[in-house]
């Protein structure tokens, strides 16, 4: 009987640890975003991880992973004449959450020799402001990561 792919756990636990170590992340979740109670204010700033696909190869498995980092957008009741920034902190949220994911991708790249995984290619970041019914903004980081294929057939 073969053994499990432990590299998968190394990757997901590494990502979770990096995110939890960031002072701009309060909660880290995994799986289907629909299962997360996004209406709870105490979970923000939130980072959510999801594995989108896997390509098994002879010596490695390449996973495509997305990490969403978001926070609540606060709207001021005071009127403003600043048309560029408006009367909310959306730009602040986008700036902070972009930094969270940029640090994460740098940590993955930097630790490739210490761990059993490696970032493949360049990650991409996509901002969002109206993706969820809650008034949140953030970024989606998508990247490919290769781990050793340690599943052997008897």
Contact 75, 93 (CB under 8 A): no
Average pLDDT, the chain: 87
pLDDT at residue 84 greater than cutoff 60: no
Which pLDDT score, from 0 to 100, does residue 41 have? 86
For 103-128, how does the pLDDT look when each residue is reduced to its tens digit (9 = 90+)? Answer: 999 999 988 766 678 999 999 999 99
Q: At what angle do helices 6-20 and 90-110 cross, to 10 degrees?
A: 140
Separation between Cα atoms, residue 76 and residue 149, nearest integer Å: 51
Q: How confident is the model at residue 2 (pLDDT cuts 50, 70, 90)?
A: very low
For 36-72, how does the pLDDT look when each residue is reduced to its tens digit (9 = 90+)? Answer: 888 888 899 999 999 999 999 888 899 999 999 999 9
Signed CA dihedral, 16, 21, 25, 27: sign only = positive
Separation between Cα atoms, residue 75 and residue 94, nearest integer Å: 14
Separation between Cα atoms, residue 88 and residue 13, nearest integer Å: 34
Domain ranges of the chain: 6-148
| Start-to-end C-alpha separation, the chain | 6
Q: Compute how many other C-beta atoms are within 10 angstroms of the C-beta atom of residue 144.
A: 17
Q: Which CATH class is domain 6-148?
A: alpha beta
| Closest listed residue to residue 18, CA positions, set 59, 61, 65 | 65
pLDDT at residue 1 greater than cutoff 50: no
Contact 139, 98 (CB under 8 A): yes
């Amino acid at each position: 009987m073969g053994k499990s792919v432990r590299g998968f756990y190394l990757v997901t636990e590494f990502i979770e640890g990096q995110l939890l170590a960031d002072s701009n992340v309060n909660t880290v979740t995994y799986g289907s975003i629909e299962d997360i109670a996004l209406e709870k204010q105490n979970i923000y700033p939130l980072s959510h991880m999801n594995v989108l696909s896997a390509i098994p190869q002879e010596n490695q498995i390449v996973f495509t992973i997305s990490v969403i980092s978001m926070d609540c957008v606060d709207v001021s009741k005071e009127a403003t004449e600043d048309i560029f920034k408006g009367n909310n902190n959306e730009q602040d949220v986008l700036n902070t959450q972009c930094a969270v994911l940029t640090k994460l991708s740098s940590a993955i790249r930097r630790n490739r020799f210490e761990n059993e995984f490696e970032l493949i290619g360049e990650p991409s970041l996509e901002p969002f402001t109206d993706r969820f019914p809650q008034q949140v903004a953030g970024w989606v980081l998508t990247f490919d990561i290769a781990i050793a294929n340690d599943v052997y057939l008897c």
